[in-house]
């Protein structure tokens, strides 16, 4: 009799270890794994971090949160367990119910219940369930193989060097030209004045001599103003110049930018049925559409799945999942999330 009890105890221990292993494995693929009657394990994404004090870098990761309100059976864990244990769905359901009941008994006694790689549960004085997540697993598959590392800041040393002036021939030439121009600006007016004084004196002498000794009368010379003819070519040049000048100030009104609508990829699917044949999946998707669902067929995990609805938000998907399960004959629907779903 004692031997039989020992075998039963060993079988329960192995089964509980298998449940731990299945929950941990499913969290690498799905964002939410529910243990019926106990609660749901939800992964939470964290970006890479840098600690400025310790100069350490942490890779991106997914840790686990626990939601005690997610106690319904979504079929994910039970189907996975039945397939790997080689038992029926009902047998897998019965075994999980027994283990969950045993876990609650241990918690009520003040003992801790651990899920390897996931976390540990215990109850406080007010019988509130407390969850301490394990830090041993990173459930983000994209960060596989990454580890934290330390990178100290680089030290920069400035070496004082003597600044040697660079000879620039062009600069010296420009300075020489500027000096020459300045000198010319001062000297040339002086030379012009000195040249103009004798010339003015000579003109005055000639005028004096004419009045004193000459009796010839000089006829006044009429000033003629010749008008420059404006030909057609010049007018054309002026018109072209005017057009160019106006074109410089011409501006079109800015055209408004047309912003393309952003497309949001829906990555959370409420699965109503799964089939190996695509034709069967399409047929049942049509039937679901007739009763008001936005049904479609997606291919995931080597099966054609009939999605009743799809969302880009996990929260909205979980609300819709609860609503559908409350309708007749839909208590077996479950939530599927693609691996590239945003957090």
* Residue 56: strand pairing partners: 51, 150
Regarding whether 273 and 144 lie in a shared domain, the answer is no
Largest CA distance in the chain: 168
H helices of the chain, where?
2-27, 76-85, 89-108, 169-213, 232-248, 278-290, 314-325
Residue 258 placed within a domain: no
Regarding whether 276 and 145 lie in a shared domain, the answer is no
In 3D space, the residue among 136, 134, 106, 104 whose CA is nearest the CA of residue 119 turns out to be 134
Determine phi and psi for 50, rounding to 5 degrees.
Answer: -130, 125
- Alpha-carbon distance of 229 to 217, in angstroms, equals 36
Residue 155 placed within a domain: no
Residue 285 placed within a domain: yes
* Number of structural domains the chain divides into: 2
Q: In this structure, are residues 42 and 64 in contact, taking their beta carbons and an 8 Å threshold?
A: yes
CB atoms within 10 A of CB 118: 21
Residue 320 placed within a domain: yes
Domain boundary among the residues 150, 181, 199 is at: 150
Domain boundary among the residues 85, 119, 150 is at: 150
Domain boundary among the residues 95, 123, 150 is at: 150
- Alpha-carbon distance of 299 to 280, in angstroms, equals 13
Residue 156 placed within a domain: no
Residue 309 placed within a domain: yes
Per-residue pLDDT of the chain (343 residues; tens, 9 = 90+): 444 443 444 444 454 677 888 998 899 889 999 999 999 999 988 888 888 788 788 788 888 999 999 999 999 999 999 999 999 999 999 999 999 999 999 999 999 999 988 999 999 989 899 999 988 787 887 776 777 778 777 776 666 566 665 655 555 566 666 777 777 777 677 776 666 655 555 555 444 444 333 444 444 434 343 344 444 444 444 344 444 444 444 444 555 555 555 555 668 999 989 999 999 999 999 999 998 899 999 998 889 999 999 999 998 999 899 999 888 888 889 989 876 544 4
Residue 215 placed within a domain: no
Taking phi first (over 0 means left), then psi (-120 to 50 degrees means alpha), and beta for anything else, what does residue 78 get? alpha
CATH at 290:
3.30.70.1070
Q: In what order do the strands lie in the sheet with 39-46?
A: 32-35, 39-46, 61-67
- Alpha-carbon distance of 20 to 22, in angstroms, equals 6
* Residue 33: strand pairing partners: 41
Residue-number span of the structural domain to which 68 is assigned:
2-150
Residue 180 placed within a domain: no
C-alpha Rg value of the chain to the nearest Å: 47
């Amino acid at each position: 009799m004692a031997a039989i009890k020992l075998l039963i105890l060993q079988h329960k221990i192995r089964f509980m270890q298998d449940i731990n292993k299945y929950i941990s494995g499913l969290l690498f693929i799905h964002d939410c794994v529910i243990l019926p009657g106990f609660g749901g394990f939800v992964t939470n994404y964290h970006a890479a971090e840098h600690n400025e004090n310790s100069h350490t870098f942490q890779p991106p990761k997914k840790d686990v949160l626990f939601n005690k309100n997610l106690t319904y059976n979504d079929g994910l864990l039970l189907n996975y367990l039945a397939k790997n244990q080689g038992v029926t769905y009902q047998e897998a359901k019965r075994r999980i119910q027994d283990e969950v009941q045993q876990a609650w008994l241990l918690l009520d006694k003040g003992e801790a219940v651990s899920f390897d790689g996931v976390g540990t549960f215990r109850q406080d004085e007010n019988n509130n369930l407390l969850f301490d997540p394990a830090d041993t697993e990173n459930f983000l598959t994209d960060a596989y193989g990454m580890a934290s590392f330390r990178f100290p800041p680089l030290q920069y040393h400035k070496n004082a060097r003597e600044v040697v002036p660079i000879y620039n021939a062009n600069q010296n030439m420009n300075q020489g030209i500027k000096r020459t121009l300045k000198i010319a600006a001062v000297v040339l007016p002086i030379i012009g004045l000195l040249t103009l004084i004798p010339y003015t004196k000579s003109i005055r002498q000639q005028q004096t001599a004419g009045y004193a000794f000459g009796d010839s009368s000089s006829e006044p010379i009429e000033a003629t103003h010749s008008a420059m003819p404006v030909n057609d070519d010049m007018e054309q040049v002026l018109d072209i110049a005017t057009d160019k000048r106006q074109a410089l100030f011409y501006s079109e009104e800015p055209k408004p930018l047309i912003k393309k609508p952003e497309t949001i990829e829906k990555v959370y699917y409420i699965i109503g049925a799964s089939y190996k044949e695509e034709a069967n999946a399409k047929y049942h998707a049509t039937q679901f559409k007739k009763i008001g669902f936005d049904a479609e067929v997606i291919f995931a995990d080597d099966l054609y799945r009939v999605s009743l609805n799809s969302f880009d938000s996990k929260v909205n998907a979980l609300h819709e999942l609860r609503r559908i399960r409350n309708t007749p004959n839909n208590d077996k629907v479950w939530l599927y999330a693609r691996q590239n779903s945003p957090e």
